[in-house]
Structure 1
């Protein structure tokens, strides 16, 4: 064989997108526990082997689908002030509450599978934290937050509320909760 082409059929971006869309649809309709590679393949109109060429497990496919969705739906607001940026970020984040079955399933998988846990942390959790850190760092530069304030603790507070409400489902993740959480963070930094 010559060139850089790998053996087998070339990867298709259209097939990849169909797999990710099918994964999200299956997750929304059936939940993570009922998610299967067979179900994803059938819905996407591809063979299981196509999925296994790119991903080693249903958890990996679900994580990629979630990453793809979060990268395209949750923008990093830059409105010029911490209150506006924080409200925009939390509003967009809480608007994704429909992803609860996906997030809860992936968190459960991460608790059971240390290898997946590392990927989930690095590729999803830490990336989402980095977005909020960027908002807080801009606020420090603008003088809205004291430079000695611990941004990691603020990030823990925000995501602690988000994950606790997602996992326990004891209170809503709605616009009002986002406003109240933003107000809490803003009071803490003043």
Structure 2
């Protein structure tokens, strides 16, 4: 059981401490439940707020989960700076797979993926979150093109789909690990398909 944080109540006014308590409660609850479903009621109790407070700020659980993931992950996407496409892909995919495999991100991503199937707003926000990662990978391929490592006409979007397809398939369907070895194999495959 996650203990309730002590905080100052300020009535209906948005309270940053309450918001942070809610965002902190989500990954803690998911970890304690080993990734199984958690309810808004459980989140409210763990954060020491009323359920109406959560719904005032987040229209659905999926939107809250994405906000918690963003708060945990931060907005910055690590940009590898290797000298070859293979080095950059390897660095990027290893970091991405490690982050997606590590609590709380692993539990958050699985829960968000499930909620996105039922909630159009969660689905829309997940697509936006995923696009920031796709953009980072796209920049890797753009740099490879400038260095002459990428043939004209290479379908970069398909290569990006393949990279993230492995991640989402393993998270959402196979429930298989996202290892450093898998990242290295995928990087080598994608680098080989560039021509």
TM surpasses 0.5: yes
How far apart, CA to CA, are the structure 1 residues paired with 2:142 and 2:148? 10
Show the 5 A alignment for 1:41-190.
41-71=44-74, 75-95=78-98, 96-98=100-102, 99-122=105-128, 124-169=129-174, 171-190=176-195
How far apart, CA to CA, are the structure 2 residues paired with 1:151 and 1:31? 36
How far apart, CA to CA, are the structure 2 residues paired with 1:169 and 1:100? 14
**TM-score normalized with structure 2 length:** 0.80
Superposition misfits of 4+ residues, deviation over 4 angstroms: none
Asked if 1:40 corresponds to 2:46, the answer is: no
Q: What SS is found at the alignment partner of 1:172?
A: coil
- Residue matched to 1:22: 25
Structure 2 gaps, min length 5: 1-10
Contact 2:62 2:119 in 1 (8 A): no
How many residues are aligned here? 182
**TM-score normalized with structure 1 length:** 0.82
Q: CA 1:12 to 1:159, structure 2 compared with 1: closer, same or farther past 3 Å? A: same
Structure 1 gaps, min length 5: 1-7
Q: CA RMSD in A?
A: 2.3
Contact 1:136 1:151 in 2 (8 A): yes
